[in-house]
Structure 1
Amino acid sequence: MGLFNRLRATAPTPATDSASAPATARLTGIWTIDPAHSSIAFVARHAMITKVRGTFEDFDGRLYLDGEHPGRSTADVTIKAASLNTRQEQRDQHLRSADFFHAEAHPELSFRSTSVQQLSADAYRLTGDLSIKGITLPVVLDLTHTGTATDPFGNERAGFEGSTTVDRTDWGLTWNSVLETGGVLVGEKVKLEFDVSAIRAA
């Protein structure tokens, strides 16, 4: 978490700004990610046969959304490496160690967007730089805008969800153990999943 598995030819043709502007203009503005109602998760194979799922519990982010010209939108997210949680403390300590995230020396992961494409009314392709353990590489995320709402406290919220798959070894997370039956203990492909509730800034 060769370069990772990019999402390719199945995507629809990007929408033009002029066609999408009326439906998305209301999104224009600055939004902050609400960690209490958002999730950043990861999934990897264990022993070649099952999946281990985890989340990062401590993160923050800021979005600038340009509803009339989506290509001008930006995203900036920072994640605390030590906040990872797979619900098994021994495994979590190993993931925080130098074998994986080396959280003591590299306390933060970050994502900074570099471009945005609108693919359809509610679908976007977000390209950006993902930094882990001092290594920065480009990633491509496909996101869906799941809607907007005003909560009981008067906050205007926008929802987004999406995912991508990366090869963890590209960022120096190379530890593994060979199984007697063949294969390895930890899968190299990791699926990143995002479920974001963002609040419009005052």
Structure 2
Amino acid sequence: MGLRAQVRTRDGWAVQHAVVTMTDMTGAQVLRAGADPDGVVAADVPLVPGPYTVIVTALGYAPAASTALVTASGRAEVGTVVLARAGGVELPPPGVWTLDPAHSTIGAVAQHLGISSVHGRFTDFGGRIEITPDLTGSRVEAVIAAASVDTGNGLRDKHLKSPDFLDVEAHPEITYRSHALTPAGPDRWTVRGRLSLHGVVRDVDLDLTYLGTGPDPWGGVRAAFRATAELRREDFAMNYNQVVQAGISAIGTTLRVELDIQAVQGGLPGA
């Protein structure tokens, strides 16, 4: 007899601090119980057969209400209750998440000759994401080795590493540190931070999409994100250009940054 329920996020993770309240049709409370570390609510309280209202609440999540029918045995099986983040926005469970460079890509796209695009990426980087219970307090930081730029062309990469562009000897690291996080949709966020590039520090916003969380083959838990930003080269003192016929610049004035990120809960395996 009593109540049985499981409380989960939409990704299937337990909501450990959930509270289930049960009221009868007059609105009188007949049961109140908290979830265990597995998100399971079990209360052995005698209940009179009939319909009841079940309300599930948890800090940081929108409450969920449903109707449950108590059978002649005095038992109500509520099943799995899925809670959505308050405001309809989602991020992974709170804690520190470490970027996995082996399964992540930091890339940039520049226009070439006004008719096509050149794609590049950085192969040496690291970082961490800290998700806080109050999601707006979450933080992102990343460090990229500027000399790891790779566009698939050795001569072009050598030029990009020169003082005309990244000047990797004088500025070996590109860093990004966030200072604010604001929701922009059900799975979307605006990350506001400071980018240090080519010796210049500027405010840069990332348009972030959270793709979900799940277990990996190595016994860990991973979260996936996609993010984009647009940079103006002149904002970072990279003014080199070559004008070809008809006044067309060889290299576009803007860069589109594209990030595909996997982050591992805690640290990387073997780290």
TM-score category by the smaller chain? 0.7 to 0.9
1:198 matches 2:259: no
> What amino acid does structure 2 have at the position aligned with 1:121?
P
> What amino acid does structure 2 have at the position aligned with 1:80?
A
Contact 2:91 2:187 in 1 (8 A): no
Shift in Å, 1:155 = 1.0
> What amino acid does structure 2 have at the position aligned with 1:90?
L
- Tell me which residue corresponds to 2:100: 34
Q: Which has the higher contact order (CA 8 A, sep 6+)?
A: 1
Q: Distance in 2 between matches of 1:143 and 1:26?
A: 13
Contact 1:129 1:136 in 2 (8 A): yes
Contact 2:113 2:249 in 1 (8 A): yes
Give the TM-score taking structure 1 as reference length: 0.87
CA RMSD of aligned residues (A): 1.6
Shift in Å, 1:140 = 0.8
**Equivalent residue for 1:153, pick from 218, 222, 238:** 218
- Tell me which residue corresponds to 1:114: 179
1:61-89 deviation line (CA, Å, top 9, x unaligned): 011012x4211000000000000000000
1:80 matches 2:142: no
Structure 1 residue runs of 4+, over 3 Å off?
Answer: 21-26
More strand by percentage = 2
> How many pairs does the alignment contain?
185
Shift in Å, 1:187 = 0.4
**Equivalent residue for 2:126, pick from 52, 60, 63:** 60
More helix by percentage = 1
1:33-69 deviation line (CA, Å, top 9, x unaligned): 0000000000001111110000000000011012x42
Structure 1, unmatched stretches of 5+, are: 1-16
Contact 1:70 1:118 in 2 (8 A): no
Q: Distance in 2 between matches of 1:44 and 1:24?
A: 32
Give the TM-score taking structure 2 as reference length: 0.65
Change (3 A) 1:91 1:142: same
Say which SS state the counterpart of residue 181 (structure 1) adopts.
Answer: helix
Shift in Å, 1:120 = 2.6
